[in-house]
Amino acid sequence: MTGSRDEFREARALWKRVKDNAPQGDRSACPGPGDLAAYLDGAMRGAQRGGIEEHLRFCPPCVEAIAGLRVLLRAGPSPAPSAVFERAKGLVAAPAAGERRINGVIALRHLFSLMRTSAAWAAAAALIVAACAAGFMMGQETTAPAQSGQAPVSELGAHAPIISEFNRLEQQFLKGDPS
Amino acid sequence: MATHIARLLQGDKDEWDEFVDRFTPVIWAAVKGSIFAHAGSVNEEDVRELVQSVFVRLVAQEFRLLRTYDPARASLVTWLTIVARSAAIDSLRRRRLQVVPLDERAMDPPAPEAVSDSGIELPGNLLSPRQKLVLHLLCDDGMETSEIASMLGVDAQTVRSTIHKAVSKLRKHFKIRSLNPSSGGDVSAGLCV
């Protein structure tokens, strides 16, 4: 019968017999916190778990540790005095004034970077304006005799796409979108 | 959790404060429980100091210890419980050494080896590591099935079943050997020890 007193007695006798005829077994090093945690959480299977359990057979301190840890884990957390929290929090300091200056430098770099992008857009815009102005002047020179008396706004007609593109770029620039 | 830990390891103060809020009760319980289990009583001031020492261990050398935690392998609660228990046991051990006079310490027997001499090699891995461990805990350490179950994180019935399977295998193994003259006799002679 499974788990009967007789079976346990038989188990002891057989186990003694096994030990009496046995050579030295595995004497591997004790598992570290990572392996122990994985074993306790049931994350180990097969050979990994077998390796730990093989070790446990030869290491009473590890058996005691695992039994004790199971008890602690079952009991769960318990409330601690507030002073304990505050003291532990003090181990990692909030950014000091010097560190804020460093943060300020990083922020300035960000700003310069933005300005570089902005400067590129400003240069592009200036080129477009210059191109428009040059085109406008040339148009005036070639068409002035024939178109004298016409409203100046109609003379911009040929350059309207450029001006429209400029306006679009200008709007993007003002919105800060470099695409 | 991995993201929080990654930010914490970069020295993020807010993450650290959150970590402390969340896990101080875990570390507190582990330290207090470990001291009680080993000393039989607990001084709250000792627990406070030890909990702080656990946090110091975690942050020392730019979180060197905390960096060894692998979220893919185990929960942080389990890992921290192990670290906290280990700190508590170390401290008790150190305290014991401080209290014991030097001449008595010299008379102390050497610390028991972490390894006993109950090595067993059965042909073809007859028993699984778990079966061997259960038999060892039952027969050598005198543990009850409920204690073994608790230690292994399984129920008592599983332990009884493991013993049953191991006994069946051993019975069969020694019976076969007993038919061989060089095997060393009939197992039944030693059954009712």
Minimum distance, in Å, between the CA of residue A73 and any CA atom of chain B: 7
pLDDT, mean of residues A36-58: 91
Chain B residues near residue A56 by CB distance under 8 angstroms: 133
pLDDT, mean of residues B163-187: 69
**Rounded-to-integer distance, Cα B147 and Cα B108, Å:** 30
Strongest mean pLDDT among A110-119, A135-144, A158-167, B83-92: B83-92
Question: What's the pLDDT at A136?
Answer: 54
Residues 6+ apart with CB under 8 A from A18: B120, B122, B170
- Whether B13 and A76 lie within 8 Å, measured CB to CB: no
Residue with tokens 């069946």: B168
- Average pLDDT of every residue of chain A: 70
Categorize the per-residue pLDDT at B12 as very low, low, confident or very high, splitting at 50, 70 and 90: very high
- Whether A87 and B13 lie within 8 Å, measured CB to CB: no
Residue A56 has pLDDT above 70, yes or no: yes
Residues 6+ apart with CB under 8 A from B11: A92, B62
> C-alpha B104: how far from its chain's center?
29
Question: What's the pLDDT at A67?
Answer: 92
Lowest mean pLDDT of A138-142, B28-32, B48-52, B173-177, name the range. Answer: A138-142
- Whether B119 and A43 lie within 8 Å, measured CB to CB: no
Q: What is the pLDDT of residues A81-133, one digit of tens each?
A: 999 999 999 999 887 655 544 444 444 444 444 445 455 556 666 666 666 56
- Whether A53 and B164 lie within 8 Å, measured CB to CB: no
DSSP B154: S
Judge contact between B160 and B145, C-beta under 8 A. Answer: yes
Which structure tokens are listed for A67? 């039994």
Three-class SS state of B49: helix
Name which of A10, A58, A73 is nearest B78 (Cβ-Cβ). A73
**Rounded-to-integer distance, Cα B45 and Cα A126, Å:** 73
End-to-end CA distance of chain A: 80
- Whether A66 and B151 lie within 8 Å, measured CB to CB: yes
- Whether A77 and B26 lie within 8 Å, measured CB to CB: yes
DSSP B188: G
Judge contact between B38 and A81, C-beta under 8 A. Answer: no
Report CA Rg, chain B. 24
Residues 6+ apart with CB under 8 A from A102: none
Chain A residues near residue B39 by CB distance under 8 angstroms: none
Query: Kindly report the CA angle at A129 between A126 and A131, in degrees rounded to 5?
Result: 110
Name which of B13, B17, B70 is nearest A34 (Cβ-Cβ). B70
Buried b vs exposed e over B64-92: b needs ≥16 C-beta within 10 Å?
eebeebeeebbbbbbbbbbbbbbbbbebb
**Rounded-to-integer distance, Cα A45 and Cα A176, Å:** 56
**Mutant choice from A4, A27, A53 vs B, greatest count of B C-beta within 10 A:** A53
Nearest CA in chain B to A1: B164
Name which of B48, B116, B193 is nearest A84 (Cβ-Cβ). B48
The percentage of chain A sitting over the pLDDT mark of 90, rounded to a whole number, equals 27
Three-class SS state of A67: helix
Q: What is the pLDDT of residues B17-67, one digit of tens each?
A: 999 999 999 999 999 999 999 888 899 999 999 999 999 999 999 999 999
Question: What's the pLDDT at B97?
Answer: 62
Question: What's the pLDDT at A113?
Answer: 47
**Rounded-to-integer distance, Cα A153 and Cα A141, Å:** 16
Categorize the per-residue pLDDT at A143 as very low, low, confident or very high, splitting at 50, 70 and 90: very low
**Rounded-to-integer distance, Cα B71 and Cα B9, Å:** 14
Residue B111 has pLDDT above 50, yes or no: no
Judge contact between B139 and A12, C-beta under 8 A. Answer: yes
Q: What is the pLDDT of residues A169-179, one digit of tens each?
A: 556 655 555 44
**Rounded-to-integer distance, Cα B72 and Cα B57, Å:** 22
Residue B186 has pLDDT above 50, yes or no: no
Lowest mean pLDDT of A104-108, B5-9, B177-181, name the range. Answer: A104-108
Query: Kindly report the CA angle at B16 between A41 and A44, in degrees rounded to 5?
Result: 15
pLDDT, mean of residues A43-58: 90
Please indicate whether residue B97 or residue B27 has the higher confidence score (pLDDT): B27
Residues 6+ apart with CB under 8 A from B45: none
